[in-house]
Chains A and B, each alone.
Chain A
């Protein structure tokens, strides 16, 4: 919205501050001036305003002048219009409000023998002033009838409408539309009306969408001679519904939707009529003014509300100036804004008032609203900066601790944290959802590709991995922690998930560093480290034959594993299925994992705990085993665990070879390493021999055997 300072100064002649100062003072009081443009000598400045939607009363010149008058404590003259003498009316036009819930007031004024002329030909002081203001505002002049409405709008912010009286049959009735009624509006669109639409009609037909847009048929044309000027008050919700239904947003609907001034209609009508009559014609009869008492009572004649100075102080706190906000300040501010204050009997520092509210400020209706007005005009920056006292403690969410621990682990492994899209396509949702039929659809998606709430982090992760590879970023290491969704339109469940996405090399860089592409076991190691953040009793990875149909379709059937933690399925990891990689034109192997973090969050975080470190020497032993293929490492691992050798502090597969001389088919060679250490003694050779024998026996029980008894090679 644009405001001319030259216009403001005609409305508020005592205003003496510079335009720049005025702009800043208004801005600091919430009537924000976003830009100031100098219009040249004698023309003042143009203010680009950014006024919040609750302050529709200030979206016009008089409204801004009122703010300025309040800020500087100046008297604001009322707008007076010189109306030509009226001709008595033979038969006043009948006006009836049928929709008494939606139209609070309807004024109609009949003008006879007007001349509709192009703007260039207007004469008279109002028309000429308006023409000059329009030029400065770069507002396109149209004709004296349209311009008169626009002038009243810009001056005091009340919408009006002019009808060609000769095209109205009978009288005016404000009512709801009837089913099937049609109206061609001023924009040339033929509209079928809804029974909920609020319209202005005559005895036969709809004339206008009330408070939104006039009708084509009663439009003012150069041939018009008799005019009906409408200035009314329509209910915000009724106008909003009508405007929305028809996809219209006009100046008039904007104002009515946010609450117009019930008392402004007569003045608006006068401005329009007087300006139009400057080019000839006369007023016929008194203005017809139909009001609905219930609406008047809740807008123009509201009950006074109580305001206590103590409440002002309780909510606003300390000011920079030691005197603070006094009863005098409160009265000056609120009277300036149009309130009437009646002081209740009380002492000076516990002043109380009954405050009558101005009809144009429907946004002000409670004590707190008055307190806001006081604070606003007093100046927010006149309040001190204080800190409230605090007793208590800061509670830490366990989920936040988990997320921090996981994030640190993965970042240490060289993965960057990423944030992917919350949405995915329906195909992706169906491919990646952990349970079929649980993906949640959006009612008004941004696009078809983003029509679903993600049931998994995978679609976003793959898009990000692919984005990198397609931009020739060779090494990708990403993770995301975020919400995934599932459920039905009645109930949407949110769970926290963790996704990993890897492609290319590891995080080591250097002249002497060996570059190596990441593989399944790198991914698995990362997942293991994540799981080890938690005090889980147990966790394991397992693999399923393709015919079991358990492995998700998006994973390589033979290079995928399910993670199970404390008996709960906790995620999947593996190589992206080569088919999906090909579909996405990914030339590198991509490794992905999706971990159900919400399940892991049921397990407490592992707390570091120190244990005694043995002073006695550890002994490492290696076992070169030949194992049947059908036995996997996990089987041997748990067999070793079941041996319960307390002194065996650590064991692991050191090396594995699946083919070569001395390795029959259906077998593989495994170098098992184990470390023995006691906390209370040095281990004796016979003890070690016994441990070794038990280990070999465990391997044999699984069908394995030692490859040789001594250092002699197998030929």
Chain B
């Protein structure tokens, strides 16, 4: 083949480009014009004219049409006589259609196209012979008995042909699962930028400048911020919490949002740490929101995520933006709380942080939305690491696998 490929699927097919405009009506064959069709009816076994066509321009569809014609002819054969006529029509040694076809197309084809045409011709011949065998068997067995169909037997134990689906990334999948769970509790999704100001990432979340709690979140900063005021300095958000403030500034209470997102820290990578990771944060603010509501919400969410037999327990903890603050443990999903290596034999696995929104955070929100008055409303917030949950759920041992794009890793989630 010498053609330059334009259409990707044409690499191995010879193009039909000679026929000009030709109508293809319901049963007519492009290459067997009406003239020949009539003749065929008159003198099927002996006197068929060679198709007067250029071989090199015959494409796959013409062979398909011939094949379709052979199939429909063979399907009607019930008597031995009809079967013999079919044989003569197609495979007659002197005037059979395949013989004529061979003379008309194959032998006259340019050298470079002979191989392909030959292959197609042979394929067609195999089909016609198969049809003949079938018809012989059928005429012998009168119809479609098991015996008659036996030559169509397949080895059904061969592998099925698969069109592989792509997989949702396990992190996206886990985030979507969490979003869906919280949507069921009335939470809409909130998002915010990955490059944040110091104000939203720290100050408004009650990490004052110089506060030691800032040390716990090693921050990646944008270059060239030295001349700006502290609160305007740009950094890569270290948690999804700034979206709490961005949402409250935009929306008066009540608020129920769940915030899935990517965050960054200046952490050296190891099996459980990555400078890039994901969090899902939640915020619920309304009149009369209590600590027991926080407990009930997270207990429900953990049961939805890990199964209804999972238990939760809450420990005092510390986050600048919540008060009281808690860490939440779930009963170990690997040993059902009996104690194993994964839970360090405690029966419990620490999974997320949460707490009641600190009044200082509401005070920042109230600068733009006065309804965030901590004496009237209350709320809770929670945050969890998506990688950790995904690692537990899917048995991933190295966090780096999430970001390597390794097909062998990803296809497991299809």
A-side residues, CB < 8 A to B, are: 27-30, 32, 52-55, 236-237, 240-241, 257-258, 314-319, 366, 368-369, 371-372, 375-376, 380-381, 383-388, 390, 392, 394-397, 399-400, 407, 410-422, 440-446, 450, 453, 460-461, 463-465, 467-468, 471, 473, 475-480, 482-483, 485, 488-490, 492, 494, 507-513, 519-522, 617, 619-624, 626, 653, 655-663, 668-671, 688, 692, 696, 706-715
Contacts and interface: CB of A to CB of B under 8 A. Distances in A.
B21 interface: yes
A507 B407 CA distance: 12
Contact of B188 (A395, A468, A490, A660): A395
B167 A416 contact: yes
Contacts, number: 367
B222 to A, nearest CB: 6
Interface residues of B, number: 115
A31 B22 CA distance: 88
Interface stretch (B3-11, B124-132, B141-149): B3-11
Contacts of A522: 8
Contacts of B188: 394-397
Given A444-B266, A519-B8, A713-B54, A510 B404 contact: no
Given A386-B293, A443-B222, A707-B20, A241 B275 contact: no
Contacts of B6: 656-658, 668
Given A386-B295, A394-B188, A658-B6, A414 B16 contact: no
9 contacts: A32-B315, A369-B323, A381-B314, A414-B163, A489-B225, A490-B228, A509-B162, A661-B110, A688-B23
Contact of B163 (A240, A507, A714): A507
A443 B3 contact: no
A662 B57 CA distance: 10
A507 B164 contact: yes
B363 to A, nearest CB: 11
B213 interface: yes
A384 B296 contact: yes
- Most chain A beta carbons < 10 A, residue from B8, B54, B407: B407
A489 B222 contact: yes
A515 to B, nearest CB: 12
Contact of A521 (B8, B191, B193, B194): B8
B118 interface: no
Interface in B90-117: 110
Nearest to A512: B161
Nearest to A373: B324
- Most chain B beta carbons < 10 A, residue from A29, A241, A368, A513: A368
Contact of B212 (A258, A380, A390): A258
B405 A464 contact: yes
Contacts of B119: none
B314 A711 contact: no
A413 B74 CA distance: 39
Contacts of A258: 212
Contacts of B306: none
B13 interface: yes
Interface of B: 2-8, 10, 13, 15-26, 30-31, 33, 52-54, 56-57, 59, 110, 158-169, 171-172, 183, 185-189, 191, 193-195, 210, 212-213, 216, 220-225, 228, 234, 236, 254, 256, 262, 264, 266, 268, 275-276, 284, 286, 288-293, 295-297, 299-300, 313-318, 323-326, 356, 358-359, 374, 378, 402-408, 410-411, 413-414
The 3 closest A-B pairs by CB, nearest first: A317-B290, A30-B316, A713-B54
Contact of B22 (A52, A314, A622, A658): A622
A417 B169 contact: yes
Contacts of A485: 194-195
Contacts of B172: 407, 417, 419
Contacts of A27: 315
Contacts of A444: 220-221, 266
Contacts of A709: 20-21
A707 B8 contact: no
B290 A315 contact: yes
B316 to A, nearest CB: 3
Contacts of A29: 316
A384 B295 contact: yes
B297 A712 contact: no
Nearest to B25: A619
B298 to A, nearest CB: 9
A390 B185 CA distance: 8
Nearest to A710: B20
B15 A655 contact: yes
Contact of B356 (A315, A468, A656): A315
A314 B17 contact: no
Contacts of B264: 422
Contacts of A519: 8
B210 to A, nearest CB: 5
Nearest to A478: B405
Nearest to B113: A660
Given A53-B318, A372-B324, A381-B314, A622 B290 contact: no
Contact of B313 (A381, A384, A656, A710): A381
A513 B158 CA distance: 12
A710 B22 contact: yes
Contact of B292 (A316, A661, A708): A316
Nearest to A494: B193
Contacts of A696: 21
Given A315-B356, A387-B300, A446 B24 contact: no
A422 B276 CA distance: 7
B323 A372 contact: yes
A646 B179 CA distance: 46
- Most chain B beta carbons < 10 A, residue from A240, A410, A422, A522: A422
A414 B414 CA distance: 9
B407 A473 contact: yes
Contact of A624 (B16, B268, B297): B16
B161 A464 contact: no
- Most chain A beta carbons < 10 A, residue from B20, B24, B213, B406: B20
Nearest to B376: A314
Contact of B378 (A315, A483, A490): A315
A252 B246 CA distance: 38
A172 B23 CA distance: 110
Contacts of B169: 416-419
A397 to B, nearest CB: 5
B221 A443 contact: yes
A441 B224 contact: yes
A411 B222 contact: no
Nearest to B24: A620
